[in-house]
Structure 1
Amino acid sequence: MEIIENDYYIFNEDIKGSNEFDGNFISKGKSLYEVIRIYKGIPLFFEKHIYRMINSANISNLKLPFNNEKLKDSILRLTEINKVQFGNIKVVFNFYNNECNFYCYFIKHHYPSEKDYKEGVATILFKGERKNPNAKIMDVSFREGTDKAIKNKRVFEAILVDRNGNITEGSKSNIFMVKGDCIYTSPVEDVLPGITRDIIIKVVLECGYKIKEERVNYENIKYMDGLFISGTSPKVLPINKVDTICFDSSNNSVIKEIHKSYDNYIEQYVSQFS
């Protein structure tokens, strides 16, 4: 069941009070969704999120009833009426019984602490694959399985390993691995094409490093100099442990430069948003 934050949400084109929200809709039909970070009142990388949602709809043979401007207006209206400057908004198109309903609401977010960035976070390997990794579609049972493993092991994230033993992505993030001046990440056909992932690839190249989108077997991560998580909430987050293998990722000069350059990219986007 979905749980919302703050006082108001949007259903189709109407603003409603949070007391009217029924989060059980998520278990019915098929839901396409995006989680967009609100930073200084601005929906970060809005255009890229909407492009990905349209792509998910095309892959799933579904038609979205809203255009880009109506979506942007809904997000900005919700941000303004809730008086939120920082947080995460979830936009969902729910297809059920030959109807499509639009939901837009704030969700509880967990941003890494300064300590997490300074020391890195622990992760585990999790054998599992998404049914359709390129489309962002709700898969409640898969999410429940990874969330349970994360909670039981008391770690920040679960790194997915496919049937061939290759690392794909995190349960709710993308994964990057660093060896020297080269950064490895899974091919886009194996993962959800993350918004942060795309920007980091651009940042990596601008910093003068090499990027290799190729499959890496989980047994080879012990040879890496460091790893990091990327995503809407974590941004660029160093990993200090994968199962029992330890890494000094937070002190890796390459990861530190990528982190700083990504933060600069955010500030530039906010300053130019219209």
Structure 2
Amino acid sequence: MMLFNNKPIDNKKYSEDILNEGFSIYEVCRVFRGKVIFLDDNLLRLDNSIKKSNLAIDLNSLHVADQLNRLIQLENIKEGNIKYVIRVTPTGIEQYVYQIKHSYPTEEAYQHGVDTVTCHAIRENAEVKYINSGLREMTNKIIQEQGVAEVLLIDGDNCITEGSRSNVFFIRDNVFYTAPLPHVLPGTSRKRVLNICQENGLTVVEQRVNYKDIATYQAAFITGTSPLVLPIAHIDGIAFDPRHPLLVKVMEHYFNLLNKNF
């Protein structure tokens, strides 16, 4: 089952292809132990996407939290990802709420890191989480063909901005680096990591990392709904330390926060 305009329908009647028509913004929320984690952050980002897209929509009128919880109860979801979509049509908006396939990192991946590659691509209006089928199809193909966990995007200045479905951080000489807004999507896990760094006196510099300099960084990691905080082992074959002490410290704080609150 899924929800269409807050009404349960058979999801066999629905195809995501319809989202290729017109303009759609969305959120992907993670369910952990039967609850949506950090929901307030998702709602703030959704409201940001609405405003940055110049849509005359009152977030409160959408009753997003109620719809997410309704689907969780209908489908008895204990763990997984839920996609919430607002599709803009000539006559108004349509809302879709449904489960999507997820792939969470293994314990080995968290311990030893994952491989990534880069490609030159720019997400226009990066602060808005909108349906971009062309970019997603391209990066999905790279991930499948090269057997990597993520594709990192390089902009016109030859700087790494973000992953195709994640934010990215680098560590050099005990300083964290990550691309600033408006060059990237304001990820909910990214926000938590920034808070953790601030609370623990860890220095963060919000600036893009030039691709030609990445070998000078000791560690790198991605953040996102599915990976949470995931070490990178390689970028285009260049090695990074997945057990860097500061990276491990941030991971421990993040997962402690998750277990404490959910």
Q: Which amino acid aligns with 1:218?
A: Y
Please list the CA deviations of residues 148-185 of structure 1 after superposition, one character each: whole Å capped at 9, or x if unmatched: 12222111001111011111000100000011321000
Structure 1 stretches of 4+ with a deviation exceeding 3 A read: none
Which of residues 253, 257, 263 is equivalent to 2:255? 263
Please list the CA deviations of residues 231-253 of structure 1 after superposition, one character each: whole Å capped at 9, or x if unmatched: 0100110000000211222x111
Normalising by structure 2, we get a TM-score of 0.96
| Cα distance between partner residues in 2 of 1:138 and 1:23 | 10
| Cα RMSD after superposing both structures | 1.3
In structure 2, the partner of 1:3 is none
Please list the CA deviations of residues 28-70 of structure 1 after superposition, one character each: whole Å capped at 9, or x if unmatched: 1100100000011111111111111111111111133652772
Normalising by structure 1, we get a TM-score of 0.92
| Cα distance between partner residues in 1 of 2:260 and 2:18 | 37
Match of 1:237, SS?
strand
Number of positions where the alignment pairs a residue of Structure 1 with one of Structure 2:
262
Q: How does 1:141-220 map to 2 (within 5 A)?
A: 141-220=134-213
Which of residues 46, 49, 53 is equivalent to 1:56? 49
1:248 and 2:245 are equivalent in the alignment: no
In the alignment, is the contact (CA less than 8 A) between 1:239 and 1:247 conserved in 2? yes
Question: Which stretches in structure 2 are left out of the alignment for 5+ residues?
Answer: none
C-alpha displacement of 1:230: 0.4
In the alignment, is the contact (CA less than 8 A) between 1:45 and 1:269 conserved in 2? no
Which of residues 232, 236, 242 is equivalent to 2:225? 232
Q: Which amino acid aligns with 2:36?
A: P
Question: Which stretches in structure 1 are left out of the alignment for 5+ residues?
Answer: 1-7
Note closer, same or farther for the CA distance 1:69–1:139 as it changes in structure 2 (3 Å cut). Answer: closer
In structure 2, the partner of 1:5 is none
In the alignment, is the contact (CA less than 8 A) between 1:157 and 1:170 conserved in 2? yes
1:27 and 2:20 are equivalent in the alignment: yes
| Cα distance between partner residues in 1 of 2:158 and 2:40 | 34
C-alpha displacement of 1:16: 1.4
| Cα distance between partner residues in 1 of 2:100 and 2:25 | 16
Q: Which amino acid aligns with 1:76?
A: N
In the alignment, is the contact (CA less than 8 A) between 2:47 and 2:59 conserved in 1? no
Identity of aligned residues (%): 34
| Cα distance between partner residues in 2 of 1:79 and 1:24 | 24
1:133 and 2:120 are equivalent in the alignment: no
| Cα distance between partner residues in 2 of 1:72 and 1:208 | 33
Match of 2:156, SS?
coil
